């Protein structure tokens, strides 16, 4: 179908050409887990289909219970059929499965890592993977320290060198990176004793989403938005990540984590920093990450006294009956946090973040509310009241796109005004849906491009802001989270948080 609003002109040559990664072995620690089956293996299969993988590669599934390769391949094929949006191409699958191997071993026994090294050396010979190694830590976070130490002790880590050095070693560490500021500092310290920062890839899959990366192109690839992207024009900003599902069998993990550690400390703060940061000096990894860091360091700390005016915690009705959840758990499944950014650009502009499970719909979006017009020309009070301030909505998922709402005269002799929307949809404009975030991030890790991964200082800055909020909630306050109905917009106090500033959330339903 022709796009009625936007015509798309793509230059024939990409502005920045992505390199093909060099041959390598990829070890997935936690290969039988949910993440590996739902996300990592499908992403690697799609990259194989799209001919984006290196010329030669091996994937080694490592865990205590992983079966031998043939049975594991069959398991993965079944999972792929369940989780891949497209039908599986038998020819591609055959090529892909021949690169999958397994290794049974314990994350806590050094001998397993020595055995892994012997196996990887052998595969390097038969599969021409040149000694390049990508380790993916997709296990429970409690195993991260042990695995990191054993990688070093078993001499699986090559020293870091210049960007094109071979053989190379890189380690992808899944979120949550730490449980609070002190554990994140500790994990960073440990990682730094094993790896160079250039080898450390702290992953937040939100950064791999096309729509999240497009925040940068939208802001810095157009001249019309930047002049109004500040407190003079913007009244307030909403950053929402709503899910309609509950904890879906992950009750024991979730009950230890909660929505603030699971979503706000990482995914939502990433999105917020991209919306708020200054233009970087270049599109290079460190220049971009320097600007993101400045925003994280400018977040105004929330004190214990200020907590009720800055944060709301909720729990959906029925959460306490989920498997793995403690009977009197206070773990929030919903949180709304008001954030102020203390710099020139954003003085006085609240950024409200909200995330929750069992809300009416699955949606992630940024909604930017502009100031009302300073003076109404049209005289009649009823018409003036109909003039709503402009709203720009970045739909990060689903139905990816961007819409701008503005006022328009309704045709006719009487003066009447309506809200209308200009709508850009990725699907309509580019006629394809964006690839899964893990595809891009795995490719970047293989290429050695760390731009979309979190740097040590940024992770600690994010925890510096979040930890006092968690501490106040977990240790100082004695009330529980507000209960909310599954399918509702969350607890009433979340609405009040904005109403008290004269603002309102965009309704989710």
CA 314 to CA 109: how far, in whole Å? 41
Q: How far is the CB of 440 from ligand BG6 (least distance, A)?
A: 13
CA 314 to CA 503: how far, in whole Å? 20
Query: In the complex with ligand BG6, which residue's Cβ is closer, 143 or 220?
Result: 143
Instruction: Pick left, alpha or beta for residue 166 (phi over 0 → left; psi -120 to 50 → alpha; otherwise beta).
Output: beta
3-class secondary structure per residue, 343-407: CCCCCCCEEEEEEECCCCCCEEEEEEEECCCCCCCCCCHHHHHHCCCCEEEEEEECCCEEEEEEE
What positions carry a catalytic annotation?
Answer: 267
Q: How far is the CB of 435 from ligand BG6 (least distance, A)?
A: 12
Q: How far is the CB of 58 from ligand BG6 (least distance, A)?
A: 27
Q: How far is the CB of 172 from ligand BG6 (least distance, A)?
A: 14
Under a CB-based contact definition with an 8 Å cutoff, are residues 371 and 259 in contact?
A: no
Backbone angles phi, psi at 322, to 5 degrees: -70, 145
The structure tokens 């993977």 sit at 129
Eight-class DSSP state of 38: I
Query: In the complex with ligand BG6, which residue's Cβ is closer, 235 or 238?
Result: 238
**Residues 6 or more apart from 112 whose CB is under 8 A from it?**
62, 103, 105, 106, 150
Q: How far is the CB of 271 from ligand BG6 (least distance, A)?
A: 11
Cis status of the peptide bond prior to 359, with omega within 30 of 0: no
The Cα-based distances of 220 to 55, 366, 436, 470 in angstroms read 35, 17, 24, 34
CA 297 to CA 456: how far, in whole Å? 13
Q: How far is the CB of 253 from ligand BG6 (least distance, A)?
A: 8
Query: In the complex with ligand BG6, which residue's Cβ is closer, 236 or 484?
Result: 484
413's tokens: 């002799």
Query: In the complex with ligand BG6, which residue's Cβ is closer, 157 or 242?
Result: 242
Q: Which helix (H) or strand (E) holds 59?
A: strand 57-63
Query: In the complex with ligand BG6, which residue's Cβ is closer, 262 or 322?
Result: 262
Query: In the complex with ligand BG6, which residue's Cβ is closer, 262 or 489?
Result: 262
CA 157 to CA 113: how far, in whole Å? 11
Under a CB-based contact definition with an 8 Å cutoff, are residues 31 and 102 in contact?
A: yes
Query: In the complex with ligand BG6, which residue's Cβ is closer, 277 or 355?
Result: 355
Nearest one of 159, 262, 151 to 206, comparing CA atoms:
262
The residue ranges that bind ligand BG6 (CB under 6 A) are 243, 262, 364
Under a CB-based contact definition with an 8 Å cutoff, are residues 402 and 393 in contact?
A: yes
Query: In the complex with ligand BG6, which residue's Cβ is closer, 120 or 335?
Result: 335
Q: How far is the CB of 396 from ligand BG6 (least distance, A)?
A: 8
Under a CB-based contact definition with an 8 Å cutoff, are residues 359 and 341 in contact?
A: no
User: E strands within 176-310?
Assistant: 200-202, 234-242
Query: In the complex with ligand BG6, which residue's Cβ is closer, 93 or 316?
Result: 316
- Sheet of 482-484: strand order equals 417-425, 401-409, 391-397, 363-370, 234-242, 350-356, 334-340, 311-316, 482-484
Q: How far is the CB of 141 from ligand BG6 (least distance, A)?
A: 12
The structure tokens 């599902």 sit at 245
Q: How far is the CB of 174 from ligand BG6 (least distance, A)?
A: 9
């Amino acid at each position: 179908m022709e796009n009625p609003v936007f015509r798309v002109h793509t230059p024939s040559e990409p502005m920045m050409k992505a390199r093909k990664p060099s041959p390598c072995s990829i070890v997935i620690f936690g290969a039988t887990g949910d993440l590996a089956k739902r996300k990592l293996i499908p992403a690697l299969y799609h990259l194989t289909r799209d001919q984006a993988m290196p010329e030669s590669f091996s994937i080694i599934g490592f865990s205590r219970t992983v079966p031998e390769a043939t049975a594991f391949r069959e398991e993965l094929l079944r999972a792929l059929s369940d989780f891949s949006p497209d039908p599986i191409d038998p020819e591609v699958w055959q090529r892909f499965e021949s690169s999958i191997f397994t290794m049974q071993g314990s994350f806590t026994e050094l001998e397993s890592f020595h055995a892994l090294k012997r196996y990887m050396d052998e595969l390097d010979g038969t599969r021409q993977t040149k000694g390049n190694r990508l380790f993916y830590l997709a296990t429970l976070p409690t195993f991260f320290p042990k695995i990191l130490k054993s990688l070093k002790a078993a001499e699986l880590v090559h020293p870091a060198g210049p960007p094109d050095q071979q053989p190379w070693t890189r380690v992808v560490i899944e979120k949550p990176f730490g449980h609070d500021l002190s554990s994140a500092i500790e994990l960073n310290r440990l990682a730094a004793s094993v790896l160079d920062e250039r080898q450390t890839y702290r992953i937040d899959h939100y950064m791999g989403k096309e729509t999240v990366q497009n925040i940068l192109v939208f802001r810095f690839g157009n001249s019309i938005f930047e002049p109004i992207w500040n407190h003079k024009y913007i009244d307030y900003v909403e950053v929402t990540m709503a899910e309609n599902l509950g904890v879906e069998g992950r009750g024991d993990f979730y009950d230890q984590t909660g929505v603030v550690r699971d979503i706000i400390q990482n995914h939502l703060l990433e999105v917020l920093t991209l919306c708020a940061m200054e233009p970087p000096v270049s599109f290079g990894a460190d220049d971009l990450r320097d600007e993101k860091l400045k925003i994280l360091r400018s977040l105004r700390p929330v004190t214990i006294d200020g907590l009720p005016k800055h944060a709301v915690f909720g729990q959906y009705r029925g959460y306490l009956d989920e498997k793995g959840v403690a009977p009197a758990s206070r773990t929030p499944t919903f949180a709304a946090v008001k954030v102020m950014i203390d710099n020139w650009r954003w003085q006085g502009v609240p950024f409200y973040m909200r995330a929750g499970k069992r809300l009416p719909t699955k949606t992630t979006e940024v909604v930017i509310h502009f100031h009302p017009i300073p003076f109404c020309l049209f005289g009649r009070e009823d018409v003036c009241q109909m003039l709503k301030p402009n709203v720009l909505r970045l739909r990060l998922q689903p139905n990816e796109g961007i819409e701008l709402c503005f006022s328009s005269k309704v045709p006719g002799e009487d003066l009447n005004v309506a809200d209308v929307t200009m709508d850009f949809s990725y699907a309509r404009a580019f006629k394809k849906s964006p690839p899964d975030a893990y595809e891009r991030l795995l490719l970047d890790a293989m290429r050695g491009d760390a731009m979309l991964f979190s740097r040590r200082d940024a992770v600690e800055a994010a925890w510096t802001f979040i930890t006092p909020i968690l501490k106040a909630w977990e240790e100082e306050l004695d009330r529980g989270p507000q209960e909310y109905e599954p399918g509702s917009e969350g607890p009433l106090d979340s609405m009040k948080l904005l109403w008290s500033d004269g603002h309102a959330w965009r309704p989710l339903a």
